[in-house]
Amino acid sequence: MIRVHVADISVVTSLGDTLDVTWERLMAGDSAIRPVTRFAVSRLNRGMAACMEGLELEGGGSLLGPLLDRLLTGFGPAPVESRLIMATTKGAIDNLERVTRGISIGPKDLQFGELILGVARRLGLADGGININAACVSSTMALARGAALIAHGRAETVVVCCFDMMSEFVFSGFSALQGISRGACRPFDRNRDGLTLGEGGAALLLVSEGRLRREGRSSLGTILGWGAANDATHITAPARDGSGLVQAVKQAMKTAGVDGGAFAAINAHGTGTVYNDLMELTAFRTLFGDHSIPIHTVKGAIGHTLGAAGGIETAVGLRSLAEGVIPPTVGFCNPEQGAEGLVSATPTVITGEALLTTNSGFGGVNAALVLGKGKTG
């Protein structure tokens, strides 16, 4: 297969509008989780989230517009012939909220097709693009698909653009499911009680090895392997034995041609819900036995960014490999059984050439990527 490189990255999160700022604040153990002020939460019995500061739009409209402005300002240019794969779970869902309040919107303001074309036009791409909506693994699946297109010679360059915003619709839905923490989430902590929602986005340019060399680009990292599986257990809860995640990781490792000893660290989904975190620890123990691979998650700092999570976490994972350190897991204090000595509330120095990043979502879907270090073109 053709090796897949990441040649450009843009990231926006509630910690900052660039990957550099987000990384620095992650390493400092900062958290952007605050009381929600964007909409009323008094009736929901939950009130914390990680929202991007100053995300406003004069004259109304979806807040997705300014979020994309921030994300795409620092990205590109991308080759015009690049394939476009977008990943978002709800798009401009706040437009639907406006309709319920009697505010008129345009006929295309809720259409994903129009959103995809808008991103393609903004990036100057000829490809009409597709959107992958696979719950919380959406952007991980998008990256896997983009990498597969390049690895099998069906494309030389692919842009993966992923994003989701904080809306009252999504917040109230997770609240109704009793999935939101009463405070800030505490991933892999024995006292965890739910996730914390966030917002943000990531754009990544994937290129083939040959294209990288011809253009003299520097590689920010590689996508060596990918896998996906569904445990088909429950509409929201994961399989307790982690069978779906185990299968996804095994596929990714097979594609990459590596075994568990190759991993410097694991970037886990780590939402802070009771069952997800326990499932992940079970899956990693099944996969790697007593081999101690450091585990971390960024969701205690930036919240769960839904469709953007895998893209943001891939960018952080590649930076971790480049810097030889993983950020602390914010909110982690009292280790869940199985997390002792693996998850840390302080930065952890790592050595190795590969990192595993995983995501899991509603409907039992699981996805995994094997990331590798970059090189100078």
pLDDT of residue 376: 55
* CATH number, span 221-372: 3.40.47.10
Within a 10 A sphere around the Cβ of 97, how many other Cβ atoms? 15
- pLDDT at residue 59, as a whole number: 67
Encode pLDDT of 300-354 as tens digits.
999 999 999 999 999 999 999 999 999 999 999 999 999 999 999 999 999 999 9
Q: What is the pTM of this model?
A: 0.97
* pLDDT one-digit tens code per residue, 184-226: 999 999 999 999 999 999 999 999 999 999 999 999 999 999 9
Confidence of residue 108 (pLDDT cuts 50, 70, 90): confident
Say if 4-215 and 221-372 have the same CATH topology.
yes
**CATH number, domain 4-215, options 3.30.70.3280, 3.40.50.12280, 3.40.47.10, 3.30.499.10:** 3.40.47.10
Which residues are marked as active site? 136, 269, 304
pLDDT in tens, 274-286: 999 999 999 999 9
Domain boundaries, the chain: 4-215, 221-372
CA distance 245 to 79: 34
Instruction: Tell me the per-residue pLDDT of 62-86, one tens digit each, with 9 for 90 and over.
Output: 999 999 999 999 898 999 999 999 9
Looking at residue 377, its pLDDT comes to 47
